Amino acid sequence: MQRRKFLRTTGVGAAAAAASGAIAAPAIAQSAPELKWRLASSFPKTLDTIFGASEIFSKYVAEATDNKFQIRLFAAGEIVPGLQVADAVQNGTVEMGHTASYYYVGKDPCFALDCAIPFGLNARQQDAWMNWGGGREAMADFFKDYSIHAMPCGNTGGQMGGWFRKEIKTVDDLKGLKMRTSGFAGEVLSKLGVVPQQIAGGEIYPALEKGTIDAAEWVGPYDDQKLGFNKVAQYYYYPGWWEAGPQLSAYVNLAKWNELPKSYQAILEAAAAKAHTSMLSKYDTQNPKALRELVAAGTKLTPFTAPVLEACYAKANEVYADTMAKNPRFKKIYEPWKQFRGEEVLWFRVVENTLDNFMARLSASNKI
């Protein structure tokens, strides 16, 4: 009450109280309350670029609120296991999470559309879908069932296809291949004979070294180099067609979100945008150097052949058809998403690809 009285004397009381949603949200009646939240990340601190996005996010929230709204970060496993962030936010164990939604395809494949699906949108196209293509609304409707308010909060950019101990020259070479991968990518690859293996980050290296697995995909040059995969597998394939532009998301427990003053909601949304653009551009800055070093140390940078990509694309479409048949909600989001993807690819064919390809040719002939 004292706050209200003060505000009234400065002539903005009524407006501020209304803007803060004080009446609709009695739990937090002040327009600038002191809050201490916990954010559970799905990522270890060693993935410093992804974890760093949550650091940038919480830093901006603290600064924008004169440190009144503090969000404490916990790396994967500190208070919540990395792959249980959605549950923890849903249950209110923590107010917030930072995660990759495709980790939860086991609950519902719709989660993946918030992050990446095979032959999906690149990072910029994903932004377009989320911001103006109906994606944010479609996903909000879905996330409501999990009591989650989800905000785009980072992207890795297109990932690599992973590390292989032998060459993949034909589609047949995929048969029987034991590969660390998961989710939709695993489903697609298993249709071509791959045996997908779910292995946590820290255990990939020994599995690859011992030959327990033949291949493993992780992220991209910067993160892969740190785990030393180049020492135990020679071929570094690209592109990771299952992750053309995987989006990270900041999850807020929906009840907690609704209790926030409008000003804090705006601050969280804007801080997420700051972290979003910052993370992608950090990977884009770090990856070239790491890639150069890997290649200089003997890694064989190898593209998947067109027939391999085409076979994977055909199988991905089978997986989507199967998923739509089983899950009407997936169908409802996927069909307009697919239409949107077609429009984006059409547009990118014109200016972006033409100019990127011209610059690439200059680069290949050392004219840049």
**Cα 182 to Cα 312: distance, rounded to the nearest angstrom:** 15
Number of residues that bind a second copy (CB under 8 A): 97
If you ran DSSP here, which 8-state letter would residue 103 be given?
G
**Cα 124 to Cα 172: distance, rounded to the nearest angstrom:** 34
**Cα 308 to Cα 305: distance, rounded to the nearest angstrom:** 5
Residues 3-62 that bind a second copy (CB under 8 A): 3, 6, 9-12, 15-16, 19-20, 31-32, 34, 60
Residues 175-194 that bind a second copy (CB under 8 A): none
- b (16+ CB within 10 A) / e for 10-45: eeebeebbeebbbeeeeebbbbbbebebbbbbbbbe
- b (16+ CB within 10 A) / e for 328-356: eebeebbeebeebbeebeeeeeeeeeeee
Q: How far is the CB of 66 from a second copy (least distance, A)?
A: 4
In the list 175, 255, 285, 321, the residue contacting a second copy (rule: CB under 8 A) is 285
Residue 352 near a second copy by CB under 8 A: yes
Residues 222-251 that bind a second copy (CB under 8 A): 238-241, 244
Residues 324-343 that bind a second copy (CB under 8 A): 341-343
Q: How far is the CB of 18 from a second copy (least distance, A)?
A: 9
If you ran DSSP here, which 8-state letter would residue 119 be given?
T
Residue 159 near a second copy by CB under 8 A: yes
191 φ/ψ sector (left φ>0, alpha ψ -120 to 50, else beta): alpha
Residues 291-330 that bind a second copy (CB under 8 A): 291-292, 301, 303, 306, 309, 313
Query: Is there a binding annotation on residue 129?
Result: no
Query: Is there a binding annotation on residue 339?
Result: no
If you ran DSSP here, which 8-state letter would residue 236 be given?
E
Q: How far is the CB of 55 from a second copy (least distance, A)?
A: 14
Q: How far is the CB of 351 from a second copy (least distance, A)?
A: 4
Residue 360 near a second copy by CB under 8 A: yes
Residue 289 near a second copy by CB under 8 A: yes
Residues 76-135 that bind a second copy (CB under 8 A): 119, 122-125, 127-128, 130-133
If you ran DSSP here, which 8-state letter would residue 229 be given?
G
Query: Is there a binding annotation on residue 55?
Result: no
CA nearest neighbour of 318 among 184, 193, 196, 198? 184
In the list 8, 67, 200, 318, the residue contacting a second copy (rule: CB under 8 A) is 67
Q: How far is the CB of 359 from a second copy (least distance, A)?
A: 5
**What is the chain's alpha carbon radius of gyration, rounded to the nearest angstrom?**
22
